[in-house]
Amino acid sequence: MENTLKSTSPSELAEQAFGRRVRALRAAAGITQADLADRMTHLGVSMRQGMIAKLERGARPTSVGEITVLANVLGVPPSSLLVSEDALPQDVATVLDMRMDAIHAAASLQELISQGQRINERIALQRKVLQSSVRLFDKTLAIVTENHGAKWLTTQGLDNISLAAQNPLFVELGAYGDSDGPVDEYVKSQLRA
C-alpha cells in the first residue's frame, strides 16, 4: 500500500496552529467569522468571511498588519495569537524565530538603504548649489577686481578673499565640478534678493 500522507512544512504547521488559536479566541469571544471579518474591515484591513475560514484552517498566510488588527478585535495582545513554543517542535520554532529575525533585519537594511539614497540625493543637490555659489562668487570677484583693481582690494584687506585658491575644502567638496542650469539661476536670484 502506497503512503499518501502529505508532508507538512514548518510554515504550514505554524499557519495551522495560528488558525486554531484564532478560531479558539474568536469562539471564546462569541464572534462569528463574518463579524470578525466586518470588524477587521472597519479597522482598515479588508477581510471577508471566507478569508477568515481559510485563515482558521491554516490555508491562508497572515501578515503582521492582519495579526495586529486580529488581536485588536479579539481583545488580546498580538503575541497571544502566536503559538506557544510547546505547540511546535523546538527545531521548527527555532527556524521560525530565525526566519522572523532575518525578515526584521532585511526590513531594517531596506530602510537604511532608502535613507542613504535620500541623503545621497540631498548631497548631490547641495554640491550643485555649492558649485553654483562658487562660480558666481568667482565671477563677481573678477568684476569687482576689474572695477576697483587688485591694488584697491589689497588696501582694503580684501586681497585674500578667493575661495578656491585658499581653501582645499572647496576642492574636496567638489565645488569646481561641472554644473549649470536651474541651480545657478536659483543662487543668482537669492544673491540679487
Domain-located, residue 35: yes
pTM: 0.42
Same domain, 69 and 130: no
Domain-located, residue 61: yes
Residue 129 near residue 175 (C-beta atoms within 8 A): no
Distance in angstroms (rounded) separating the CA atoms of residues 151 and 147:
11
* Structural domain boundaries enclosing 43: 10-84
Residue 2: band (very low, low, confident or very high) from pLDDT cuts 50, 70, 90 = very low
Same domain, 18 and 69: yes
Domain-located, residue 126: yes
Same domain, 77 and 124: no
Task: Give 156-178 pLDDT, tens digit per residue.
Answer: 777 666 655 556 666 666 565 55
Domain-located, residue 28: yes
- Grid cell at residue 15: 499557519
Q: Could you tell me the end-to-end alpha-carbon distance of the chain, in angstroms, rounded to an integer?
A: 91
- At 50, which CATH number? 1.10.260.40
Same domain, 14 and 80: yes
Map residue 60 onto helix, strand or coil: coil
Domain-located, residue 20: yes
Distance in angstroms (rounded) separating the CA atoms of residues 169 and 153:
24
Q: Name the residue type at position 140.
A: T
Report which DSSP code applies to 178.
-
Q: Considering its fold, how many domains does the chain have in total? A: 2
Which whole number is the average pLDDT over 59-70? 90
Domain-located, residue 74: yes
